[in-house]
Chain A
Amino acid sequence: MTAPDTPKLSLTQVLLCGAAIVTLSMGIRHGFGLWLQPITMDRGWSRETFAFAIAVQNLAWGAAGPIAGGLADRFGAFKVLIAGSVLYALGLVFMALATSGMAFTGSAGILLGLAQSGTTYAVVYGVIGRNVAPDKRSWAMGVAAAAGSFGQFLMVPVENWLIGSFGWQEALFIVGCLALAMVPLALGLKEPPHAHAPGAHQQTIGQALREAFAYPSFRWLTAGYFVCGFQVVFIGVHMPSYLKDQGLTPNVATTALALIGLFNVFGTYTAGTLGQRLPKRYILSTIYTLRSLAIVVFLNAPLTPTSVYVFSAVMGVLWLSTVPPTNAVVAQIFGVRYLSMLGGFVFFSHQIGSFLGVWLGGRLYDSTGSYDVVWWIAVALGVFAALANLPVKEAAIVRPTPVGASA
């Protein structure tokens, strides 16, 4: 049995600071698409230049996640959060100043990807895991995830207003200053040096990694999260053009985007709360099943603005609702000592799924002339993820008792 660490920070402090950080870090990045047109027009770049940088950003975020998580577990989350905030601000400033495609990819792609790996869920969840008692942990993760969802929802209109009022370059500088607000918030998540409860199993990072990857439940969770990334990003990126192909007006897509954002806040909070009462594997399995069902009904029902809005609301509820239960299960199985690093590995799988969702969506559309094949791949993957989560064992992993632990 894994002995939990003794909580050291107050619940209110962890939730307020953690939620505010995730609101900013998830929110700022969500509106990057708004800069596509002004930047490419002003710099004379192709859309591909901009899109490539954002693709690199997503991969860098995923690839750096385990490293940022490992550093947070080893040296303290607040140090990683501060470094991430400074990188975030620098990335935005360099993004504003970049005059070549390579410089833009280095700033908007690599720097901001690294910044996000240090300021988003995996790192903040490590602090929540270590400082919130297990009987409230899933709920607390739900609160933080809902804050991230709210940030995404909020920042699109805010950033649009900033660009319209101050110009695209100045707007990036202002958002860069906003990113620096995460520095004082990170100080609120400063934990005392690790003081493990008596009997807690001491592991090296390598041992923790070998243990996790040898454990089937971890592999199932990771596979399920891949599907989450694939479905969410495919729908988020390609649904508008699907609606356009079907003859619906642009306003329908905009309202659909707003509905996804609105219901996403409720979905993430509810999933975290339910995770406190129900087995998380069943919650995850249900989420993936409902996603597949929603897609099947959407594809087979007559396509009208109303059907799009209903689908968007349902998908919004299911959008990031996988985040709290997935991370809470990792904490439940392996304990909280290396939660950020292990969460980072699971999230890397999510980002590979995201990349494939965008890329395959475009690739198969070009080769077949429609999105039908990718929609059905998304359905099949949802069924796979629903089944993959069922055998997950949520009980704490059994480890050999450390010598002298019983003394």
Chain B
Amino acid sequence: MTRLRVTDRTTGEPLDELEPAAEGTARPASRGERPIVIRAAPGPGARGRIPFEVVVGGWRFELEVEDAERAELRQRATAGRAAVLHDGPTEVRAIIPGRVVSVAVAAGDAVAIGQRLLAVEAMKMENELRAPRDGTIERVAVSIGQTVELGDPLVVIR
């Protein structure tokens, strides 16, 4: 049987500890814990990787399954690229569509990891965006009151 690897698409982390009974045979799930498995649309360049949405216990997971050997090769290639890009600028993008209600930084500001950058309001709630790493603000791409869509660049940290 082919060796398969399951990866959490949200974190990129491989899941090594799978419940043994889950492989191959059906397992009678307890009430409310029957997994819902839905094939998801593959992302760009996802050749060979099969994406799933799995909901179990009410929790939604975005997972993908691929041949384990392929996964290892791909991971080595990605690690090399990440090392090259490490010193490059980091774009902070909108994680939710909404309206910018506050901006706490300006170009040139030094920021520390976890520092508040700006807040986006959606569905009656304010969502704070924080710096993913230390650095200097290269650019603030939005202003207060502006409506942003999911994935829009907000701040660039150098």
A binds B: no
Residues of B within 8 A of A (CB): none
